[in-house]
Amino acid sequence: ARAWHLVRRPEGWPVPEDFALREIPLTAPAEGSVLVRNLHFSVDPYMRGRMNDAKSYVPPYRLDQPMDGGAVGEVVASAAEGFAVGDTVLHPLGWRDYAEVPAAQATKVDPSLAPLSAYLGVLGMVGLTAYAGLLEVGSFKPGDTVFVSGAAGAVGSQVGQIARLKGAARVVGSAGSAEKVRQLTEEYGFDAAFNYKDGPVAEQLKKAAPEGIDLYFDNVGGEHLEAALSSFNVFGRAVICGMISVYNTTEPTPAPRNLTQIIGKRLRLQGLLVSDHKALQPQFVQEVSAWIRSGELTYREQVYQGVENGVEAFLGMLRGENSGKALVTLG
Ligand code: NDP
């Protein structure tokens, strides 16, 4: 079997030389474990943080060890009660083609309800982030004007659609290319969208939401957060989900420079960790899968083929090559 290892901690932007695809031994599963042939594994922005040797809410990747992350696959050998050959499971040992997974870390998923890759995206951790972030952390209310950054990505595209379906007055998104801006308005039903590379975010946001915004779902940080603060109406709420614009920086970044706006506008900025919201999982799956079946919510996947393209998939996602969920499909 083969697994991606982190062999050097990246300085700034990761480069292919920071990683190595190495052979790992493939043995019969130990008592209480299953051997899984991975069918898809996920590449996610949070993994960049795990490549640093820094204390965080998830431990850093260890050098010269297989990296991990979300994956779905098929059980090919079982030494665990309740799991049979042919079962499909969601588990945390991605970045490799075969994984020995302790039964406690494997969750059976039903391939007849949704394509297996959906459990890594729209019906998985990413989808719950969008759902819980908007509705629980952001205290979304019908009639809100919602701004989403990173809007053509996995989380962002779902946030915008849930806001629309739940009765937002206006949904505005920003993304990094003309094609993504087109997808936002034509495929996901955003009311307005702009390319943040076309000019200052603050100016473009003021044009797209002339009456101001009530809720900002932040995937990007930096200049986007500063722009949102200046467009907020009173009692605005920011869901701080991610700050991808600073994940590869080596110097502290200056923006936002307008934090005093928090006072007069009585703003609330709240961080989000999806792991706090597991109790919402059944409600989330029920509601979102119904929207997918009815066609009211759509999603895209950016699929990279083969374990050997794992790092390229991850780097491509950081560069913004992906529309929707970036993942690696095997076999
Ligand atoms: P995406 O599918 O959105 O992929 C990342 C996207 O970020 C790229 O496609 C790119 O799109 C955009 N991007 C990259 N660099 C920049 C930049 N400098 N400025 C603006 N945009 C940039 O990833 P996810 O949907 O998986 O994650 C989105 C965010 O949510 C991330 O910040 C992630 O860390 C966070 N997250 C947080 C969780 C939590 O529990 N707090 C859980 C899951 C995700 P573009 O072409 O538009 O630049």
At 274-299, the pLDDT tens digits run 999 999 999 999 999 999 999 999 99
126-152 pLDDT per residue, tens: 999 999 999 999 999 999 999 999 999
Q: Is the pLDDT of residue 214 over 80?
A: yes
Q: Which atom of ligand 1 is nearest to the CA of 272?
A: 41
Query: Which of 41, 43, 155, when mutated, tests ligand 1's pocket best, judged by the most ligand atoms within 8 Å of its CB?
Result: 155
Ligand 1: residue whose CA is nearest its atom 32: 242
**Helices and strands of the chain, counted as H and E runs:** 9, 15
Q: Return the closest-CA partner of residue 126 out of 152, 149, 150, 156.
A: 156
The reported pLDDT for the residue numbered 260 is 97
Phi, psi dihedrals of residue 288, rounded to the nearest 5°: -70, -40
* pLDDT at 218 exceeding the cut of 90: yes
Tell me, what's the pLDDT at 254? 84
Phi and psi (nearest 5°) for 16? Answer: -55, -30
141 Cβ partners below 8 Å, 6+ apart? Answer: 214
The alpha carbon of 244 and the centre of ligand 1 are apart by a number of angstroms equal to: 5
Provide the percentage of residues in the chain whose pLDDT is more than 90: 96
- Residue 154 Cα to ligand 1 midpoint, Å, equals 8
pLDDT beyond 80 at 310: yes
Q: What average pLDDT does this structure show over 308-327?
A: 98
* Residue whose CA is at the smallest distance from ligand 1 atom 8: 320
Q: Which domains does the chain have, with CATH numbers?
A: 2-121+299-329 (3.90.180.10), 125-275 (3.40.50.720)
Task: For 39-89, write each residue's pLDDT tens digit.
Answer: 999 999 999 999 999 999 899 999 999 999 999 999 999 999 999 999 999
Asked whether this complex has an ipTM greater than 0.90, the answer is yes
- pLDDT tens readout for residues 167-195: 999 999 999 999 999 999 999 999 999 99
Q: Residue 104 is encoded by which pair of tokens? A: 């406690």
Residue 331 has pLDDT above 80, yes or no: no
Nearest to 319 by CA among 7, 13, 1, 3: 13
Sign of CA dihedral 181, 294, 44, 308: negative
Q: What is the pTM of this model?
A: 0.98
Q: Which atom of ligand 1 is nearest to the CA of 321?
A: 9
As for ligand 1, residues whose beta carbon falls within 6 Å of it are 44-46, 126, 129, 150, 152-156, 175-177, 180, 219-220, 241-242, 244-245, 272-274, 317, 320, 322, 326
Return the pLDDT at 253.
87
Determine the pLDDT at residue 150.
98
- Alpha-carbon dihedral sign for residues 45, 51, 56, 57: positive
Residue (of 2, 4, 5, 29) closest to 102 by Cα position: 29
From the CA of 162, how far away is ligand 1's center (Å)?
18
Q: How far is the CA of 150 from the centre of ligand 1 (A)?
A: 5
Q: What's the gap in Å between 324 CA and the centre of ligand 1?
A: 10
CA angle 294-153-183, nearest 5°? 65
In Å, how far from its chain's centre is CA 39?
Answer: 19
133 CA distance to ligand 1 middle (Å)? 14
Q: Which amino acid is at 7?
A: V
Residue type, 69: G
Pocket test for ligand 1, best of 129, 219, 278 (most atoms within 8 A of CB): 219
Task: Return the CA Rg of the chain.
Answer: 20
Question: How far, in Å, is the centroid of ligand 1 from the Cα of 25?
Answer: 34
**What's the Cα-to-Cα distance from 95 to each of 23, 69, 72, 310, 324, rounded to whole Å?**
12, 7, 11, 7, 19
Strands 98-102 vs 33-42: parallel, antiparallel or unpaired: antiparallel
Compute the average pLDDT of residues 299-327: 98
255 pLDDT exceeds 90?
no
- Above 80 in pLDDT, residue 217? yes
Query: What's the mean pLDDT in 29-42?
Result: 98
